[in-house]
Amino acid sequence: MDPFVPAIEELAQALLSDEGADQALAEIAEDHGLAAQALRNRAARALGPLESYKQRQADLNKERQQPAMRGDPVLAGASFVAAVSNLRSRLSAVERQAEIERLAAEYGVDPAAHRDAIERLRRR
């Protein structure tokens, strides 16, 4: 087996768990007896730019979840309300409304249909 395969898999997991790319790369290369630059080059070919790997994976997960959300309005509504509940409390009213509109578009829901739930969240 190619010694780079398990090292790249381990590096991908480290990047997803918020470890710094350079530190994780050095440690994993050492653990597997590989040159750090060689591992970086092979990982970049396999995973793409290492610095943006975590964000690209998150985007890919969102894309996979969206068909399920669109097919199940209850799941979409519940996910939308949960996302609204996670908005920063220090947002101005205008910023909050803009974020609610953005989330509504992302989850494919009508924010007016969830107005009561959103209002209850504000009182907390």
The confidence score (pLDDT) of residue 32 equals: 94
Is the pTM higher than 0.85? The answer reads no
Angle between helices 4-16 and 36-47 (to 10 degrees): 70
Taking 3-state DSSP, the helix, strand and coil percentages for the chain, each rounded to the nearest 5, stand at 80, 0, 20
Per-residue pLDDT tens over the stretch 39-83: 999 999 999 999 999 999 988 888 887 777 777 888 888 988 999
For 16, the token pair is 């997803």
The confidence score (pLDDT) of residue 122 equals: 67
> Coil, strand or helix: which one is 49?
coil
For 25, the token pair is 């790369």
User: Is the distance from CB of 29 to CB of 7 less than 8 angstroms?
Assistant: yes
Nearest alpha-carbon partner for 114 in 72, 84, 88:
84
User: Is the distance from CB of 94 to CB of 88 less than 8 angstroms?
Assistant: no
